[in-house]
Homo-oligomer: A and B are copies of this chain.
């Protein structure tokens, strides 16, 4: 499948005023499938819309690294997509996250009704995406390893390693736990590391 960046994510949190961090949005496509990876949050839809030349109803699948609003809220705007997500997403009482936030989560999860396919980690989706279970940011979090036609092998750590700064810290051995181990292992097999909140890094 061919890989395309629809939006490069960024960091933007000024506690007390705005939680505006937004995730990268990626597309994998071939003649049969149009797969969005992390459709992002609503305050970037105008920017996503300008780059996504596919009508929303033709998106066939959405793969989510995890269920946080800045990665997943826009899933409500792709009515025909199968939502592919780790099975642990089911154990949460989203409505209880807060009087307003809880409603936003519940509205999103409700919109998925009848179109969720769960994975556990270890699967290969569409013969292109290997799912790596990495519950170090939230208990349903996964990283992805993507074999693309046009850019070689891509490692998407997700929010266990959001930016190049996080990545460099790991590569310089300033972080040395399980997360660091996983990031190093998969980076070795990859041509690019693609980030949820930064532009891509070319390996070598």
| Residue A121 at the chain B interface, CB threshold 8 Å | no
| Residue A13 at the chain B interface, CB threshold 8 Å | yes
Stretch at the interface among A86-94, A97-105, A112-120, A146-154: A97-105
User: What is the count of identical protomers in the complex?
Assistant: 4
Which B residues are in CB contact (< 8 Å) with A48? 100
Q: Across the interface, do B20 and A174 meet the contact criterion of CB distance under 8 Å?
A: no
Q: Across the interface, do B100 and A49 meet the contact criterion of CB distance under 8 Å?
A: yes
Given A103-B77, A179-B175, A17 and B17 contact (CB-CB distance below 8 Å): yes
| Residue A11 at the chain B interface, CB threshold 8 Å | yes
Contact with B along A4-28 (1 / 0, CB 8 A): 0001101111111111111000000
A69 to B46, CA, bound (A): 11
Contact with B along A42-73 (1 / 0, CB 8 A): 11111111101001100000000000011001
